[in-house]
Amino acid sequence: MRSISFSLYLLPLLPRPFPFSPLAPSVAACPPSHVSVGSPCYCYKWKQIFPINSPNKSRGTYAAAEMSRFRDLMVGIVVILIFSSLLSLWPEPFSRYFSRGASVERQEMAGNDDLPPAIVVYVTVPNKETGKRLATSIITNKLAACVNQIPGVESTYWWEGKVETDAELLLFIKTRQSLLEALTEHIKANHPYEVPEVVSLPITGGYEKYLKWLNDNTAS
């Protein structure tokens, strides 16, 4: 069943004359009763559309066209059956080809369990200057490996019983989970807000080399 299902991928590659090819236009040969002068009837013959309504065309032309379509159908079925047989007898190269992408991904993701848990921390600041100063101090003290500064954030929130809306900048901080407490204390000591936003989310996976770089560039 797997080989037959796989062979269905060949259908879009079949030539246009094959009746079951998705690339073939929906024009079918006309029945003999429709073969008459002036009728808008067309049929296929090897990638060519030719009218069968001219006075010199006969039912023999229609029969030839039908035989051509039948021959194309049989050739297509034979090609698919041959390919299915080859796939059953020699499946390894094909399975290796289609699983190559998944294998590369598994190799790149392998080994993440050997690294300490990593997190991302969201922190909002009132302006670019504050964000740059706080990001620099976080990186200098190796409390994170990278801080992205994302401008254009508009925050709506409750504060002292009123709804407030302010333009802010978002810091996207990537660090190790073990440094969250120290990072939080650093932000509280250097942030202009009375109650700064410090929200962490776990990193459950990622590119192994990047996560290793993150671990190597934060305080142990």
pLDDT of residue 48 exceeding 60: no
- The pLDDT tens digits for 76-116 are 888 888 877 777 776 666 566 555 555 555 555 545 668 89
- What is the percent of the chain where pLDDT is above 70? 58
168 in Cβ contact with 192 (< 8 Å): no
CA–CA separation, 19 and 66 (whole Å)? 11
Give the CA distances from residue 101 to residues 47, 105, 189, in Å, rounded to whole numbers and listed in that order: 37, 6, 47
Find where tokens 């993440």 sit.
112
CA–CA separation, 42 and 22 (whole Å)? 19
Residue 7, CA atoms < 13 Å, CB-side half-sphere: 18
Give the CA distances from residue 171 to residues 11, 77, 208, in Å, rounded to whole numbers and listed in that order: 51, 60, 23
Q: Could you tell me the fold of the domain covering 112-216?
A: Alpha-Beta Plaits (3.30.70)
- The pLDDT tens digits for 133-178 are 999 999 999 999 999 999 999 999 999 999 999 999 999 999 999 9
Q: Where are the domains of the chain?
A: 2-98, 112-216
Give the CA distances from residue 163 to residues 67, 216, 220, in Å, rounded to whole numbers and listed in that order: 78, 42, 41
